[in-house]
């Protein structure tokens, strides 16, 4: 299944939500599973983004739907990047 890197930045509303209800992150992960998105790894980070998530999804359309759904809540801004493992990348460029 395709892998994506999702960089997320909390909005002011999102920071308030996390402060009041930190386990909301895991609730969102369950919602994502219902959309067909599986969170493989999740990191809180410093810098311009607040979280880095590595997800699996069946296709770009599913990731687009996820981005619109989460973004429309007003709590987070997302950047989604399709990713290939390096060994898969090498197979492609050797063709």
Domains and CATH numbers, the chain: 3-94 (3.30.70.920)
The model's pLDDT over 65-81, given as tens digits with 9 standing for 90+, comes to 999 999 999 999 999 99
Tokens at residue 73, please? Answer: 């809540």
Average model confidence (pLDDT) across the chain: 96
CA distance to 54, 56, 73, 83, per residue, from 88 (Å): 17, 16, 35, 10
Residue 60 has which token pair? Answer: 């770009």
Mean pLDDT of the 26-35 span: 96
Residue 79: its pLDDT value, please? 97
37 close to 55: Cβ distance less than 8 angstroms: yes
């Amino acid at each position: 299944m395709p892998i994506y890197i999702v960089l997320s930045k909390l909005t002011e509303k999102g920071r308030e939500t996390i402060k009041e209800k930190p386990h909301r992150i895991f609730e969102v992960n369950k919602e994502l599973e219902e959309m067909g998105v599986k969170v493989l790894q999740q990191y809180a980070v410093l810098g311009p983004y607040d979280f880095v998530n590595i997800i699996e999804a069946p296709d770009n359309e599913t990731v687009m739907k996820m981005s619109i759904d989460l973004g429309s809540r007003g709590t987070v801004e997302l950047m989604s990047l399709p990713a290939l493992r390096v060994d898969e990348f090498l197979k492609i460029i050797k063709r």
